[in-house]
Amino acid sequence: MAISGEEAEFISGGEFPIPVPNDENITIEFKEFGVALKFIPTVMSADSINLALNIEVSEISNQNAVSIRPSGTNTQFFVPSLSKRGAKTTVELGNGQTIGIAGLLNENITDVVEKLPGLGDLPIIGQLFRSQSFRKGETELVILVTPRLAKPVRKQDITLPTDNFVEPNDWEYYLLGRMSELKRNEPAENSYTQTSNSSNYSIAPKAGSEGRFGHQL
């Protein structure tokens, strides 16, 4: 969600460390990977949205990885590489319309052979001294865009997962084996205050974060 004309950024993933040697010591820098999204929405009219998108999907890969050994030390650092896929474009859509801006298909094939030196190369009986594994994977990435205009709503129209949630007391939980339950009865349209023997509580109209919750002992 963003204001018209302002840039918004979202990332879901992580960071991995990269050693950076210098004259005195070694410092660590972190590189982000995962799903990154940057967009700038611009409201053109009451039912039209211009959207500048920059989408990038990256993952850690052992292909093209490098090993670094700083001078004067016996320590060797292994730095993986990043496999990236992305799309950058500008679209103009109506409120709630959907468009596909990119579709990428990635296919990986890995063949690993492990064998004893010499014996694994012998014909026929060499199969007894080696093992072979084969892996094939396909990943399909489809990017769909659906912009929507966010409008304010009334408090009465907002529902929470905790609405009408009632927690069991110790007697019901340990002896009767009852778990939490959700009351289905709808509250009255107009809120009012009811007085009981031990406490006062108010019942709010329909949904909301106010009302009678929990269990009264």
Residue written as tokens 């966010």? 150
What CA–CA distance (Å, rounded) separates 212 from 214?
7
- The tens digit of pLDDT for each residue in 173-194 reads 787 777 766 665 554 444 444 4
pTM: 0.53
- The tens digit of pLDDT for each residue in 37-82 reads 899 999 888 888 899 999 888 888 877 778 877 666 677 777 888 8
Report CA dihedral (213, 214, 216, 217) to the nearest 10 degrees: -170
How confident is the prediction for the chain on average, in pLDDT? 76
The DSSP code for 186 is: P
Instruction: Rank 10-24, 80-94, 100-114 by mean pLDDT and report only the highest.
Output: 80-94
Which SS3 state, helix, strand or coil, does residue 170 take?
A: helix
- Give the model's pLDDT for residue 216: 42
Contacts of 60 (CB under 8 A, 6+ apart): 16, 33, 80, 81, 82, 83
